[in-house]
Amino acid sequence: MGKHFTDRQRLDMVKNYKQSGLNLSEFSRQANISRSTLKDWVNAFTSLQGEFIKFKDIGSEPGSLMDKIEIASIKRDLIMKIWRNSRVKNNI
């Protein structure tokens, strides 16, 4: 089974990659994660609000970027649960 990373760990990994100046392959090799995983994380965080995250603005206090990401993640999980349940009911 592979490693599991929290959203914060993923964000920190993308931040470190962007600040490293290394290419994707070099950084992922040094960080001991797969290149495709890192690429997925970079793409995911890059597409938030159409631009890359401004790292100076992240924090854990209410209203911060991390707080908004966590709320969005919770909303997504709730929507997926509702959608799965509706599909099961409609298939009966």
| pLDDT tens per residue, range 2-17 | 678 887 888 888 888 9
Assess whether 50 and 73 both reside in one domain.
Answer: no
CA distance 92 to 90: 6
> Domain count of the chain?
2
Average pLDDT over residues 18-35: 93
Instruction: List the domain range (segments joined by +) for residue 5.
Output: 1-55
CB 45 within 8 A of CB 14: yes
Assess whether 12 and 47 both reside in one domain.
Answer: yes
**Which residues, 6 or more positions from 66, have their beta carbon under 8 angstroms from its beta carbon?**
7, 8, 11, 58, 59, 60
pLDDT tier for residue 48 given thresholds of 50, 70 and 90: low
**Which of 68, 73, 49 has its CA nearest to residue 58?**
68
C-alpha gyration radius of the chain: 16
Share of the chain above pLDDT 70, in %: 65
